Structure 1
Amino acid sequence: MSNDAFIEQNRRNWDDRAGLHAQATTGYRLDRYRDDRSLLSDVVDFDRRYLGDLSGLKVLHLQCHIGTDTLSLARLGATVTGLDQSGSSLTAARELFASVDTAGRFVESNVYDAVDALDGEEFDLVYTGVGALNWLPDIARWGRVVAALVRPGGSFYIREGHPMLCTLDDERDDTALVVKYPYFETVEPMTFDQADTYVDTGGVAVAETVSHEWNHGIGEVFMALTNAGLRVTTLDEHRFLEWRFFAHQIEADERFHLPDHQIDMVPMMYSMAPDKPS
């Protein structure tokens, strides 16, 4: 299969997930955002310490899914555009924004085609949330897209699962940390056939079960952005995850950590914040 075919199969997988994720009381529990008009997603609530004041800024959210993080950026004062290749995800995002009387624009496009889809528009901040890069086969090409979307003097921010974490076997019955998958970007993807997704769906299974993923080392992500003309000013590695990856992780404050004897052994996530020189 070609990369285009892999990406298309992933789109179908995410179209199927979107309806399950957009439930009122399961999935992403969207009713929380309707009941509390000040609520931020856990992801953006953590990231805001890196983002600074968003009041009045034009913000583009790449791979926005059903829009909970996009809505949170709007609630911090940004004028938001969300972009995703899943039409079903964007339908859910538009419905969420309409239900809370919040302005937002949503554009359906593969991330690699974002520059054309947005007619070359540039943004004060381009934002990518958790769980995005693993769906992309070519990180260098991604870096060029990101750089083209950031205005001179603007910035980019991403928080993502750490590529070292993504090498580890998460299906073991014991607590050993064992490398199973490649750390560096590979030509062929890792292909998975799974009927479940990463949130509670009320027992409903995903119908389009096959998906394809790629890992990208920290150096590969860093060089993709710097070779495209961005300047990385922040790179932090984190000891927690937003979701349970290992069965033996400990939940605290709605995040998941390894137990004390392992907590310093493997980074779970990272934040990277480049800017574009004026």
Structure 2
Amino acid sequence: MLTISQFSKIAHITTKTLRYYDEIQLLKPAEIDPHNGYRYYRSNQMATVFLIQKLRSYECSLEEIKKILVDPALLKSTLERKQAEISEKMVTYASLQALIDKDLATLSDGGLYMQHQEKIERVDSPQMTVFSIRRILNVQDFSELLTEVFEMIAQEGMIPVGPPLSIYHSPEYTPEHYDMEFAVPVAEANYKTYELAPRPCAKLHYKGNYERLTEVYMQLSQWVEEQQLEIVGPAMELCVTDPNTTSPDENEVTIYLPIE
């Protein structure tokens, strides 16, 4: 048996961490002296420590690790899931790297945030008959809303007649419970559709990586302020291209920001 200090030194893990693992029942000592409360560990428990450390390096949560220690059969599926998550992050970081390269290239031309100004117009938003679903959801689940809308359109036998649009109704950014609407222009006008009326808007057609949309909205807000106007409604994004089949830098979206 090893004292907590001896075990800590050999396994390269702090005694503070070992006590915490004991507290959350991730790794319990082999024995605890009932008289003085000293913790003792067996040498074979180091294998568990090494597994925990390896899984932590793979960005597994302690809760995920706890489940694996209870049921080792979960290890394979967990590693496969983490592998997929890391692959997704690599794609994201590659995209961010490309954006940084472009930002560095534009610094000499007056900064990062001026290239969209000349594309902003004052227009009426398009009038269209749409089928839509509006829901408060986590922004990460937006793709599920898209799928639901298209499934409903197919079930109802409706005919899409234009690119879909997203409408963001929340007055502030609350990603865990965001008020979002996804709409598709359709040929049919019935009780399941409604007429999206035209209204004065600031319009900007953007082509490029969606990672820059925050920058685009900043430019729109700046333009509205310079024109001594006010934003009076939710932003609408008309998705000209399908991001699932279009390379990130080739995506196109038309943004309408209601103004008066």
Normalising TM by the smaller chain, what interval?
Answer: under 0.3
By relative contact order (CA 8 Å, sep 6+), the higher-ranking structure is 1
Compute the TM-score of the two structures, normalised by the length of structure 1. Answer: 0.21
More helix by share: 2
| TM-score of the two chains, using structure 2 as the length reference | 0.23
